[in-house]
Structure 1
C-alpha cells in the first residue's frame, strides 16, 4: 500500500478487528456455500445406486436447508459489518475534508472552484466508500469461495487433473488485470475531473440564475452547461468501453471452464472414471466459481475508479495552508495599538504592488478613516491585518508584536470585520447576527440590530428574529443584508472593529443614523472605517487617503479639506451629488 493511501490504511488499521470479524463471517459463509454441490453429488449417487430411503431424503433435505440458512445468515452479517464500516469511513472522510477546507487560505480558494471541492466531498468520497464496502465483500467472497470450491472438489474425490484442466482458463485473469487496470484508472480519473467541472459550472449557473433571467440569456446558460455535460458523456463512454471489454472477458473465461468440464468431465463420466454425482458436483462448482470470477472483474473496475478518486481526495487532504501559526505564536494583547512600518505588499502572481511604503500608528481606541479610489489598496490593508495574506515580517504590528507571531485564531477572533458584501447564511436572522457566539441573549441581538438600524425591518417579518433567510440572505434587500452583516460585526466582541465599505448599500440618512449609534461603540474599540463616502469617515480621529497603494494625504476632515487635494475633490463631488469611485 503506497503512502498516498494513508487515509484509508489508517482507517482500516484503526478498525482492523471489525474488518477481521466481517471477513471471518464471509469466509464461513463461503465454506457453507461450497458444501452444497458436494451434498447434492452424494445425494445423486445415492439415488442412482437405488438404496436411498425416505429418512435419507429427509436428512439430505435438512442438511441442504441448514447450509442455505447458514450461508445467508453468515454472509448477511459479514456484509452488514463491512457496509457499516464503509459508511463510518464516508462520514469521517467528509468531516476531514471540511476541516481541511476550513484551514486553507483565501489564495487556495481563489484558485479552486467551489464546485470542484463539492465534487470531491460527494462523488469522490462515495466512490472510495463503495470500494472499501463492496470491494472487501467481493474480494473476500471471490478468493475464499474459489478456494473453498477447489478444496471441496478434492474432498469429493474429483480427479486432480480434471480440476486443473477446468480452471486453466482462469489463469489468464491476472494478465487481463495488468492490461486493463491502468487504462480503466486513467479513464476514471478523466470522468471524475469532468464531473468536478460540471459541478462547478452548475453551482455557478445556479448562483447566477437571477442575473441570467434578467438578461434573458437562458439559452446561452444552457449551452455553457451543456458543453460540460457533453464532456462527461464522452469521458464516460471511453470508460464504459474499456470496462465493458474487461467485464466481458472475465465471465468468458468462466464459461470456457464450464464448457471444458462438460466435454471432458462428461467423457470421463461416460467412461466410468468418475461418478455421475461427481460430474454434477463439478459442474455446480464451476458454475459457483463463475460468480467470483465476475466479482473479480467488478472489484478491479471499482478499485481503479476509487483509486482515482482517492488520489484526488488525498491531494486535497495534503494541501497545506499558506498562512500558518509560528511555533511560538502568542495571543493578541487586550487593547493593542496598530502600527504599520514601511509596509509594501504585492499579491502572488501580480507584478504591480498593492501597497507601497505605508507608515502608520493608531493608538488603541482611536478611529481611522480610510478613503481612496477602487483598487487603491484599502481592503488589502485589512487582509494583511487579518492575515488573509501574510505581510512582510516586521511591517504590521499589534501591541508591538508582529502579526505573524500572533496565533491566527486569537487574531481573527478578536477582530470584528464587516465586509461590503457580508455573506448571510440560510438560517435565522438571529443566528446570523449571533454568528460569533450563539449564546448571546436575544436582548443583545436586538440591541445590535438597533445600532445597525435593521431592527424595525426585522420585527415587521411574521417570525421577526426567527425569520429564516434564503440562500445568501435573498429574503432581505441589499441594504438590509448589509445592515444585518453590520449587526453581526457589532455583536462580535474584540478590541478592533473594521468596517470595510459596509454601508455602501444604505441611503445617506440611514448611514448618518448608524454612525451616530456607533459613537459609543467606537470609543471602546480601535475602529477602521473604509469607505468611498466622505460622510462615513469625516468624524474619524484621523483619515488617510490611499492612491496607487500609497498614503498621499492624511489628517482630520478639516485638515484634509484645507489641503485641497484628492480628499477635498472627493468631498466636493459628493456634496454636488456626483458619483466618485
Structure 2
C-alpha cells in the first residue's frame, strides 16, 4: 500500500497530482522496466518486416527468386510475427496488470482515507460525488496507466525503430523530407492539451452532479412514489443528463479535432513520400525494393502517431481525474489523536462533563451552554428535552464525533481529547437515532459490532433486544437479507436490531440515542429490563422523548435550547414541578386518552 503526502507548498495541485502517480510508477519500476523492454524488443522485431519485404521485392525484380528463397523469406516473416506476439504480449500483460493493481490500490486507499475523516467532512460532500471519484476518476487514471502507457511505449518504440530503419536502410533525403509535417504534432499537443484537460474536468464534475442526484432520488424513491412526483424527479435528472451530454460533446469535439490533425500530418507525409520517392525510383536513384520498404515504414510511422494522439487525450483526461483524486486525498480530519496521549488503561465508564459552551466548527452560534453533570460506572443517565435542544450533540462529544473544548469532557478522569481515538471509541457502543442497518442479513447486521461473534452470541444479543422471536419468523431466520437500510423491517424492528448490535459489543459505555421511539410500551419495558440485567457495572446513557424510557435512570438531565435547566432522579424532578414534570404529565394524559 502506498501513502503519499502532498503538502509541499511549492507544488501546485497539478504538480502534486502528477507526483502522486509518479511515486506509484517509481515504486513498481521493476515491473515497468520488464514491460517496456518487452515492448521495445517487440517493436525492434516488427520493424524488420518492411526491410525483409523490400529485399524480397529486389530479388523479385532481378528475377532471382526460387522456392528456397521464398521459403526462407516466408520463414523470416513468420518468426518476426511470433517474436512480436510473444514480447508484445508480455509487455501488454505486465502493464495491464499494474494498471489494475493501481485501480485497486487507489480505491482501497480512497476508502481507507474516507474512514479517517470526520463526519463534518461528509456533511459537506455529497455521496454521489464521492462515488464518482471512486469509480470514474480512478478508472480514467487506470486506463492511462495501463492502456495509455502500453500505447505510448509501443508508439514511441515503434516510431523510433521505424525512423532508424528508414534513415539507415532506405535514404536519408527521402526520410527527412517526408517527416517534416510530423514535426507539427508537438505544437498541436501544446495547443489542445490544456483544452482537453479542462473539458474532461468539467465532464467529470457534471457526472458527479448526476450521480449525486441519482443516489438521492433512489434513497427517496418511496417518498417520490407516495407523492406522485416521478415527473419532477425525471425532469431534474434530465437537466443533469443534458449537462453531462453537453460537457461530454464539448470534450469529444476537442478530442476529435486533435486526433484528426495527427493522421492528417501523416497523410501529408505519405503524399510527399509517394511523390518524391516515386521520382527517386523512376530516376533510378533508389531501388524499387527500397521504395516499397520505405512506404511500409511510413505506414508504420503513421500508426504510432495516431496512437500518441489517443494517449495524449487519455493522459489529459487522467490528469484532470488525478487532480480531483489528489484534492480528495489531501483532505485531513480536524479530529485526530493529540501529540501527547493519556496512558492507555481499561476504561471503566465514569463520565464527568463541565461544559460552559460548545459550537459547531463551522458556526458562530452556541448549541450547548452551561452543561455540568457526573455519572459513575454502572449508573444510567437519562437525557430529555424538546427536538433541537442539543441532546444528540451532547452525547456526540463523548466519542469525539465533534471535538469538545479542552478540559470539558472527561472519562475516568481523562480529558477525552487526550485519549486515543481508537481506545475511546472501542469503549463506547452507540445506537444513533436512525439505527442505520446495512443491506445484508440481519445476523450480519447484529454481528457488525464484533467481527468474531459466534451465532450464539448474536442470538443472545437479539434476545436481549426483544427481536429474537421475530427473526425466527422470517423464512431464513438470521440469514434473512433485509435490503438497503433495512427496508424489509418495520421501524421498531430496525431499532431493536441496532440495539442488539450495541448489546453484542458490550462496551463499558452504551449510548442509546432516542432508539426506543418506534417500539411499543411492553417491548420498551423488556428492553429496559435487559439493560438492567446486562449493564450492571457499566454506564448507560439513554436519550428519549418518551419519559418512561428514562424513569429508572440514576440521573436525568433536561435540556432546553442547549442549556441544562433541570437534573435529578425521576422522583426529584417530579417534586420540582418544572419542565420534566409537565412533560411527564402530558405524556401520561396522552397515554390515557389513547388507552380509552
| TM interval, short-chain normalised | over 0.9
Pair 1:307 & 2:319 matched? yes
Corresponding residue number in structure 2 for 1:190: 202
Corresponding residue number in structure 1 for 2:7: none
Structure 1 residues 144-293: aligned runs within 5 Å = 144-156=157-169, 158-293=170-305
Q: Secondary structure at the match of 1:369?
A: strand
Instruction: Give the whole-Å Cα distance in 1 for the aligned partners of 2:38 and 2:502.
Output: 57
Q: Secondary structure at the match of 1:479?
A: helix
Q: Secondary structure at the match of 2:383?
A: strand
Instruction: Give the whole-Å Cα distance in 2 for the aligned partners of 1:69 and 1:446.
Output: 63
Equivalent position to 1:85, from 88, 98, 101 = 98
- Quote the offset at 1:381 in angstroms: 0.8
- Quote the offset at 1:4 in angstroms: 2.6
Instruction: Give the whole-Å Cα distance in 1 for the aligned partners of 2:192 and 2:276.
Output: 31
Equivalent position to 2:84, from 71, 75, 80 = 71
Instruction: Give the whole-Å Cα distance in 2 for the aligned partners of 1:167 and 1:441.
Output: 72
TM-score, reference length from structure 2 = 0.95
Aligned partners of 1:169 and 1:256 also within 8 Å: yes
Aligned partners of 1:37 and 1:284 also within 8 Å: yes
Aligned partners of 1:105 and 1:321 also within 8 Å: yes
Instruction: Give the whole-Å Cα distance in 2 for the aligned partners of 1:480 and 1:524.
Output: 28
Instruction: Give the whole-Å Cα distance in 2 for the aligned partners of 1:533 and 1:332.
Output: 36
Structure 1 residues 413-562: aligned runs within 5 Å = 413-562=426-575
- Quote the offset at 1:169 in angstroms: 0.5
Q: Secondary structure at the match of 1:417?
A: strand
Aligned partners of 2:385 and 2:560 also within 8 Å: yes
Q: Structure 1 residues 422, 521: closer, same or farther in 2, change over 3 A?
A: same
Pair 1:61 & 2:74 matched? yes
Instruction: Give the whole-Å Cα distance in 2 for the aligned partners of 1:536 and 1:336.
Output: 21
Unaligned stretches of 5+ in structure 1?
none
Q: Secondary structure at the match of 1:67?
A: helix
Corresponding residue number in structure 2 for 1:398: 411
Instruction: Give the whole-Å Cα distance in 2 for the aligned partners of 1:541 and 1:222.
Output: 53
Corresponding residue number in structure 2 for 1:357: 370
Instruction: Give the whole-Å Cα distance in 2 for the aligned partners of 1:332 and 1:165.
Output: 80
Instruction: Give the whole-Å Cα distance in 2 for the aligned partners of 1:279 and 1:541.
Output: 99
Corresponding residue number in structure 2 for 1:387: 400
Q: Secondary structure at the match of 2:567?
A: strand
Aligned partners of 1:338 and 1:361 also within 8 Å: yes
Aligned partners of 2:442 and 2:480 also within 8 Å: yes
Q: Give aligned pairs, total.
A: 578
Equivalent position to 1:50, from 57, 60, 63 = 63
Instruction: Give the whole-Å Cα distance in 2 for the aligned partners of 1:578 and 1:489.
Output: 29
Give per-residue Cα distances to partners, 1:12-34, cap 9 Å, x unaligned: 11211110011011111111111
Instruction: Give the whole-Å Cα distance in 2 for the aligned partners of 1:223 and 1:524.
Output: 57
Corresponding residue number in structure 1 for 2:8: none
Give per-residue Cα distances to partners, 1:313-357, cap 9 Å, x unaligned: 111111111110112224354313111113411113333211012
Instruction: Give the whole-Å Cα distance in 2 for the aligned partners of 1:471 and 1:154.
Output: 66
Aligned partners of 1:332 and 1:406 also within 8 Å: no
Aligned partners of 1:32 and 1:70 also within 8 Å: yes
Q: Secondary structure at the match of 2:466?
A: coil
Aligned partners of 1:93 and 1:125 also within 8 Å: yes
Q: Secondary structure at the match of 1:2?
A: helix
- Quote the offset at 1:141 in angstroms: 1.2
Instruction: Give the whole-Å Cα distance in 1 for the aligned partners of 2:126 and 2:45.
Output: 52
Instruction: Give the whole-Å Cα distance in 1 for the aligned partners of 2:457 and 2:591.
Output: 38
- Quote the offset at 1:578 in angstroms: 7.4
Instruction: Give the whole-Å Cα distance in 1 for the aligned partners of 2:186 and 2:387.
Output: 64
Instruction: Give the whole-Å Cα distance in 1 for the aligned partners of 2:567 and 2:57.
Output: 104
Aligned partners of 1:415 and 1:495 also within 8 Å: yes
Give per-residue Cα distances to partners, 1:252-275, cap 9 Å, x unaligned: 000010000001110111111111
Instruction: Give the whole-Å Cα distance in 2 for the aligned partners of 1:262 and 1:150.
Output: 17
Instruction: Give the whole-Å Cα distance in 2 for the aligned partners of 1:527 and 1:195.
Output: 45
Give per-residue Cα distances to partners, 1:432-472, cap 9 Å, x unaligned: 11212132222222222111111111011121112122111
Instruction: Give the whole-Å Cα distance in 2 for the aligned partners of 1:82 and 1:568.
Output: 72
Corresponding residue number in structure 2 for 1:101: 114
Instruction: Give the whole-Å Cα distance in 2 for the aligned partners of 1:249 and 1:290.
Output: 12
Pair 1:322 & 2:334 matched? yes
TM-score, reference length from structure 1 = 0.97
Q: Which runs of 4+ in 1 moved over 6 A?
A: none
Q: Secondary structure at the match of 1:524?
A: coil
Q: Secondary structure at the match of 2:301?
A: helix
Instruction: Give the whole-Å Cα distance in 2 for the aligned partners of 1:19 and 1:392.
Output: 51
Corresponding residue number in structure 2 for 1:115: 128
- Quote the offset at 1:408 in angstroms: 0.7
Aligned partners of 1:332 and 1:411 also within 8 Å: no
Q: Structure 1 residues 578, 185: closer, same or farther in 2, change over 3 A?
A: farther
Instruction: Give the whole-Å Cα distance in 1 for the aligned partners of 2:348 and 2:322.
Output: 47
Unaligned stretches of 5+ in structure 2?
1-13
Give per-residue Cα distances to partners, 1:544-571, cap 9 Å, x unaligned: 1000111101111111111111111111
Instruction: Give the whole-Å Cα distance in 2 for the aligned partners of 1:342 and 1:72.
Output: 72
Aligned partners of 1:343 and 1:392 also within 8 Å: no
- Quote the offset at 1:10 in angstroms: 2.2
**Stretch of structure 1 that moved more, 27-36 or 520-529:** 520-529
Q: Secondary structure at the match of 2:402?
A: coil
Q: Secondary structure at the match of 1:576?
A: helix
Instruction: Give the whole-Å Cα distance in 2 for the aligned partners of 1:392 and 1:218.
Output: 46
Q: Secondary structure at the match of 2:535?
A: helix
Corresponding residue number in structure 1 for 2:150: 137
